[in-house]
């Protein structure tokens, strides 16, 4: 009995002096559709993950699934909601039912640079009505990445909206389709990977697309003319986290993710502006004639031609009982105050 008591006391002493067992590491599954080497993972996603790991002392570790390895782009929101992944890249434009009011940020005549767009979008995703949409979807925004403006890219010279009249123009999403019609074109819905052959085979006469990603589709080989400053529409993507998963993480982890986002996002936005200019230069180097309409008298023609798209969107949202006019006004205010 005496020997048993001694052993028990010894065990207690050892336990008392043993170092505390560190909290279990948190492994976060994050997924997107970008291929290896894409500018957004290189400048936003990966630096953000590295910074979070640094701020948490490696307490948080990430498992990254790029190139739709785990989640298809059109299934991203559902994958987050079902906790297939903790975080996924979501294009709100692909989910117009869940994120109807976010559509204000896709409308023409918005921001002039990715940095400008990022600052304005940061405000918009904090707007009460937009927050309600996110809450209903059960997700929270962690990272925001605006794309550069959608510009006209065509076979024939294009300097004013009149030059698009009667052309078959590739457009994706409600805002782009409306913009193509407002500019006098016939919108053609076509997946991005099919644009190259569409231009080759004359299924398309032109496109509304972003230069930052246009080069990856080799569009500089099949278009001869383009605009800068027409600002026919926009897109943005978010890295969204399941709200319940977010709340399950310790406060210090959530703080680290927020801090890392505040640090990394502005640099990523500036990097995408640079990538956009590099792509425009590549288009010019390939012999594409690009007209900066923001520096010509035609700029007002583009603004006037596209204004009804914004008005129609607000009216459509209002007819559905949604705060479209108020959200569009808030978006315009955010654009003006962050310029």
The answer to whether the 26-147+235-276 and 150-233+279-338 domains have the same CATH topology is yes
Please give the pLDDT value at position 262: 98
**Rounded average pLDDT over 100-125:** 97
- For tokens 């209903």, name the residue: 136
- pLDDT higher than threshold 70 for residue 11: no
pLDDT for position 69: 94
Please state which of the ranges 82-91, 212-221, 234-243, 279-288 shows the lowest mean pLDDT. Answer: 212-221
Q: Tell me what the mean pLDDT of segment 176-186 comes to.
A: 96
DSSP symbol at 34: P
Q: For residue 14, name the pLDDT band (cuts at 50, 70, 90).
A: very low
Q: How far is CA 94 from the centre of its chain?
A: 11
Average pLDDT score over residue span 71-100 = 95
- List alpha helices for 82-127, DSSP H: 114-124
Residue where the block lists tokens 């500018």: 39
CB 146 within 8 A of CB 236: yes
Q: What is the pLDDT of residue 191?
A: 78
Least confident of 36-40, 63-67, 279-283: 36-40
> What value does the mean pLDDT take over residues 210-229?
94
Provide CB contacts within 8 A for 316, sequence distance 6+. Answer: 324
Least confident of 79-83, 97-101, 190-194, 248-252: 190-194
The mean pLDDT value of the chain amounts to: 92
Output the CA–CA distances (angstroms, integers) from residue 206 to 159, 199, 201, 266, 291, in the order listed: 13, 7, 12, 32, 15
Q: Is the pLDDT of residue 22 over 50?
A: no
Q: In terms of Cα–Cα distance, which of 149, 150, 148, 106 is closest to 124?
A: 106
CB 189 within 8 A of CB 125: no
Q: Is the pTM of this model over 0.85?
A: yes
| pLDDT given at position 192 | 83
- DSSP three-state, residue 148: coil
Q: Which of 96-100, 172-176, 280-284, 312-316 has the lowest mean pLDDT?
A: 172-176
Pairing of strands 236-242, 139-146: antiparallel
Q: How far apart are CA 284 and CA 226, in angstroms?
A: 10
* 2 vs 47 pLDDT, higher one: 47
Phi, psi of 31 (to 5 degrees): -135, 150
Instruction: Tell which phi-psi region holds residue 67, choosing left (phi > 0), alpha (psi between -120 and 50) or beta.
Output: left
Alpha-carbon gap, residue 289 to 337, rounded angstroms: 33
* pLDDT for position 80: 98
Fold of 26-147+235-276: D-Maltodextrin-Binding Protein; domain 2 (3.40.190)
Average pLDDT over residues 66-71: 93
38 half-sphere exposure, CB direction, 13 A CA radius:
16
Q: For residue 291, give the 3-state DSSP assignment.
A: strand
Residue with more model confidence, 213 or 144: 144
Distance CA 231, CA 245 (A): 37
Predicted pLDDT of residue 18: 39
* Tens digit of each residue's pLDDT (9 = 90 or more) over 220-271: 999 999 999 999 999 999 999 999 999 999 999 999 999 999 999 999 999 9
Q: HSE, CB side, 13 Å, CA atoms: give it for residue 185.
A: 30
Query: Quick one: pLDDT at residue 36?
Result: 79
- What is the mean pLDDT of the segment spanning 33-45? 89
Check pLDDT > 50 for residue 326: yes
Burial environment of residue 160 by CB neighbours within 10 A (0 to 12, 13 to 18, 19 or more): buried
pLDDT range class, residue 208, cuts 50, 70, 90? very high
Residue where the block lists tokens 């043993």:
18
Residue 251: what pLDDT?
Answer: 98
**Domain at 150-233+279-338, CATH homologous superfamily:** Bacterial extracellular solute-binding protein, family 7 (3.40.190.170)
Domain ranges for the chain = 26-147+235-276, 150-233+279-338
Judge whether residue 1 has pLDDT over 80. Answer: no
Q: pLDDT band at residue 3, thresholds of 50, 70 and 90?
A: very low
Q: What is the pLDDT of residue 16?
A: 41
């Amino acid at each position: 009995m005496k020997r048993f008591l001694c052993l028990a006391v010894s065990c207690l002493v050892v336990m008392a002096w043993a170092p505390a067992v560190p909290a279990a590491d948190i492994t976060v599954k994050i997924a997107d559709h970008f291929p290896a080497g894409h500018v957004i993972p290189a400048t936003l996603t990966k630096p953000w993950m590295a910074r979070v790991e640094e701020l948490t002392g490696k307490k948080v570790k990430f498992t990254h699934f790029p190139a739709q390895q785990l989640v298809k782009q059109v299934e991203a929101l559902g994958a987050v909601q079902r906790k297939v992944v903790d975080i996924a890249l979501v294009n709100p434009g692909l989910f117009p039912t869940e994120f109807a009011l976010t559509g204000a940020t896709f409308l023409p005549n918005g921001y002039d640079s990715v940095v400008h767009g990022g600052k304005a979008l940061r405000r918009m995703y904090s707007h009460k009505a937009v927050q309600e949409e996110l809450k209903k979807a059960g997700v929270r925004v962690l990272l925001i990445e605006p794309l550069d403006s959608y510009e006209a890219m065509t076979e024939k010279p294009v300097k004013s909206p009149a030059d698009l009249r009667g052309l078959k123009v590739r457009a994706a999403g409600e805002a782009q389709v409306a913009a193509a019609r407002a500019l006098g074109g016939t919108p053609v819905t076509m997946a991005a990977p099919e644009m190259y052959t569409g231009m080759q085979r004359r299924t398309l006469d032109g496109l509304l697309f972003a230069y930052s990603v246009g080069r990856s589709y080799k569009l500089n080989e099949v278009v001869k003319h383009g605009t800068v400053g027409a600002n026919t529409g926009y897109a943005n993507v978010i890295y969204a986290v399941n709200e319940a998963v977010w709340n399950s993480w310790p406060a210090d982890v959530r703080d680290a993710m927020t801090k890392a986002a505040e640090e990394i996002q502005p640099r990523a936005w500036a990097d995408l502006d640079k990538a956009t200019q590099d792509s425009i230069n590549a288009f010019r180097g390939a012999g594409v004639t690009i007209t900066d309409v923001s520096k010509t008298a035609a700029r007002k023609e583009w603004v006037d031609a596209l204004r009804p798209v914004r008005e129609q969107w607000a009216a459509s949202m209002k007819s559905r009982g949604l705060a479209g006019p108020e959200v569009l006004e808030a978006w315009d205010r955010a654009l003006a105050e962050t310029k």
